């Protein structure tokens, strides 16, 4: 994997993690969460520190979201509706996301951190809908810290489990672990879909 090879050295890994998470949080459709998962797995093998991975990811998420909020506050509505690339996707983001943010408020900021697509646009939408900055920053920080901790530790302990299983059972353990990983992804998507039906944040994937 390209991301794994980039993260393979600590001095580059932390910088890449910060840049990717910050960019995704600020509105650029880059693999921020994938970079956190990669860094967590590398930390499980001792190549990175899991504490620094979580701190870097949380800090980058908070800073990136605040940059996105400022952009959304100043000119987010124009940027989402002006002619140009991805116009249809940007209009969909505004059409679906604006009423959701007005209805859910702080809850949308917090849960937006955990939803693919919405994670990229959440800060812009908060700014574009004129959410009070003090409310935004509290829920944004809470979401960023919990997200970085949960995803980072999940990747870290999954990496530890894979390493242990391969050591104990050899390569025969890999198909079982792969099936378990697929099952976990399917369960996660089913739960996310259930939340969406109950009024939780919609999944908005930028294209």
Q: Are the CB atoms for 128 and 73 separated by under 8 Å?
A: yes
Per-residue pLDDT at 64 exceeds 80? yes
- Alpha-carbon distance 69 to 56, whole Å? 20
The Cβ-side half-sphere exposure at 94, using a 13 Å CA radius, reads 17
Sequence spans of domains, the chain: 2-197
Closest CA to 198 of 125, 135, 111: 111
Q: Given this model, what pLDDT does residue 120 score?
A: 84
Q: What is the mean pLDDT of the chain?
A: 78
25-35: pLDDT as tens digits = 998 888 899 89
126-154: pLDDT as tens digits = 888 888 999 999 999 999 999 999 999 99
Query: How far is residue 140 from each of residues 38, 69, 113, measured CA to CA in Å?
Result: 23, 10, 8
Question: What SS3 class is residue 131?
Answer: coil
């Amino acid at each position: 994997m390209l991301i794994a090879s980039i993260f393979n050295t600590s001095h580059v890994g932390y910088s890449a993690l910060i840049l990717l998470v910050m960019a995704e949080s600020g509105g650029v459709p880059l693999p921020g969460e994938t970079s956190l998962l990669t860094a967590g797995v590398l930390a499980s093998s001792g190549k990175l520190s899991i504490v620094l991975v979580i701190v870097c990811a949380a800090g980058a998420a908070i800073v990136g979201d605040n940059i996105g909020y400022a952009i959304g506050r100043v000119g987010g509505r124009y940027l989402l509706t002006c002619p140009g690339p991805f116009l249809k996707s940007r209009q969909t983001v505004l059409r679906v996301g604006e009423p959701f943010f007005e209805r859910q408020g702080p809850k949308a900021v917090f849960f937006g951190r955990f939803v693919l697509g919405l994670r990229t646009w959440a800060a812009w939408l908060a700014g574009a809908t004129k959410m009070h900055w003090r409310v935004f920053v509290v829920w944004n920080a809470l979401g960023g810290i919990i997200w970085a901790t949960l995803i980072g530790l999940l990747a870290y302990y999954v990496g530890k489990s894979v390493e242990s299983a391969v050591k104990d059972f050899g390569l025969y353990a890999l198909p079982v672990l792969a099936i378990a990983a697929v099952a976990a992804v399917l369960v996660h998507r089913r739960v996310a879909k259930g939340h969406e039906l109950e009024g939780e944040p919609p999944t908005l994937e930028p294209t």
